[in-house]
Amino acid sequence: MAKNYYFENYENSMEQSLIDDLVVESIKIYGIDTMFLPRTIGAKDDILNEDDLPIYEDAYEAEMYVKNVDGFEGEGDFLSKFGLQIRDSITLTIAKTTYESEVGVHTEINRPREGDIIYLPLNRKMFVIQHVEHESIFYQMGSLQTYDLRCELYEYSGERFDTGLSYLDDQFKDENLFIDSDGTTFTVEVRSSVFHMIDTDARGDLVSTPKLEARVDEKIIFDQSHSSNTGYPLRIYTTPSPNSGSEITTGVTITGTPGVDGIVTYTPSTTGTFYYINPTTIGMGETVTVEASKLQSVETYDSIADNTTIESFADNIVDFSQNNPFGEDNF
């Protein structure tokens, strides 16, 4: 027998909207403010179908309800063969309406995803979403109002943070040893025979002949497409004067025409002080100071790293001068 026609318990949009409003209001009353950091794919491995270097470029404020009442879940703090492990976990509830209005409207992603990060100002910790449960409250009046986010304490492993919020971006600043494969782009303009540049990635102001800094293998891109660059090609030299130094061509790629579509890309391979100049105009340019890659001197940035120590010790164990060190015959 069919259900009673006069009671629309699962198709009443007015009742569904009322419950949705009540859920949002209750979370606003009893919840906490958080920052939601959606994950962006940085370097997808097409073979393993995974992201090797996630990027977190945005952060959105959203209120959530903490479902844990007796502290964090998970295994807690314990000693393992790898040292002290902290395995705290937490379950957070966010209203679907809140997610759509605070996060989804900016990202065009219709639900929270595994790998997104939640920052809790309550204890200043980050938690990564491990599972999203969309049916925790099962179809009240025929609709779903919330997402349950099961999260674990975030463990840094080389991800990039560029949200523009220092309290988020600087948490792992000293641990980020990787180089941005896209490099840094400078938009170049010429004013009164002087190079002016804008750091396009940082959305900065126009600066007259800035002193640039880079690391080995870090790409610097000079965009000379602005019409003022006509007749002022930018080149990389060993000295500030083309008469006393030589042009650097290793690691330098030049395309297009200055003032139209000119692009100069410089990827330094050695440390030192170099110069971007215009070879035909004396004094037009400044320094490019190149430091060693963090990966080349990891101990400087990580106090507990011992890469060099292990590598040096290992060199004394195996004699690599032998063609077949593990065999009986020296083939």
Domain co-membership, 120 together with 66: yes
Range of the domain at 71: 13-175
- Residue after which a domain boundary falls, among 122, 148, 175: 175
Domain co-membership, 146 together with 195: no
CA-CA distances (angstroms) from residue 119 to 27, 38, 211, 236? 17, 11, 36, 43
Domain co-membership, 88 together with 207: no
In this prediction, residue 229 carries a pLDDT of 94
User: What is the 3 state secondary structure string of 269-318?
Assistant: CCCEEEEEECCCCCCCEEEEEEECCHHHHHHHHCCCCCHHHHHHHHHCCC
Q: Whose structure tokens read 């403010």?
A: 33
Domain co-membership, 222 together with 200: yes
CA–chain centroid gap for 116, Å, is 12
In this prediction, residue 329 carries a pLDDT of 60
CA–CA dist 21, 29 (Å, integer):
12
In this prediction, residue 203 carries a pLDDT of 45
In this prediction, residue 295 carries a pLDDT of 63
Domain co-membership, 101 together with 151: yes
- Residue after which a domain boundary falls, among 116, 144, 175: 175
Domain co-membership, 163 together with 71: yes
In this prediction, residue 215 carries a pLDDT of 86
Domain co-membership, 113 together with 250: no
CA–CA dist 43, 55 (Å, integer):
9
What residues contact 189, with CB distance under 8 A and at least 6 apart?
195, 196, 197, 198, 206, 226, 228, 229
Q: Is the pTM of this model over 0.85?
A: no
Domain co-membership, 118 together with 208: no
- CATH number, residue 230: 2.60.40.420
For residues 110-143, one letter each, b for 16 or more C-beta atoms within 10 angstroms of the residue's C-beta and e for the rest, the string is eebeebbbbbbeeeebbbbbeebeeebeeebbeb
Does 29 map to a domain? Answer: yes
Domain co-membership, 157 together with 227: no
What are the backbone angles phi and psi of residue 301, rounded to the nearest 5°?
-110, -10
Domain co-membership, 110 together with 57: yes
Domain co-membership, 102 together with 216: no
What residues contact 78, with CB distance under 8 A and at least 6 apart?
84, 85, 87
In this prediction, residue 8 carries a pLDDT of 75
- Residue after which a domain boundary falls, among 117, 143, 175: 175
Q: Whose structure tokens read 């303009």?
A: 189
Does 313 map to a domain? Answer: no
In this prediction, residue 244 carries a pLDDT of 85
- Across the strands, what pairs with 160? 55
Does 93 map to a domain? Answer: yes
Domain co-membership, 34 together with 60: yes
Does 302 map to a domain? Answer: no
CA–CA dist 77, 194 (Å, integer):
59
Provide the domain count of the chain.
2
CA–CA dist 281, 300 (Å, integer):
40
Does 135 map to a domain? Answer: yes
pLDDT block averages, 10 residues each, the chain of length 331: 72 86 94 93 79 86 90 73 76 93 89 93 90 88 90 86 84 62 85 83 66 88 94 94 89 94 93 93 90 68 64 68 64 51
